[in-house]
Amino acid sequence: MPEKVFVEHIGSSFIPGLISKPIIDIMIGVKDEN
């Protein structure tokens, strides 16, 4: 994966101890080329 692209784990399944849905939310970002 290029260094300009990153993946973050977000949503309720990311927070320890919090009741969450059986769904993993991810966010894909691209760093600004400027």
Q: What is the mean pLDDT of each run of 10 residues along the chain (34 residues)?
A: 77 76 84 76
Residue 29 lies in domain: 1-33
The domain tally of the chain equals 1
Residue 6, pLDDT score: 86
The predicted model scores a pTM of: 0.48
What pLDDT score was predicted for residue 2? 57
Do the beta carbons of residue 13 and residue 20 sit within 8 Å?
A: yes
> Do residues 4 and 33 lie in contact, with contact meaning Cβ atoms separated by under 8 Å?
yes
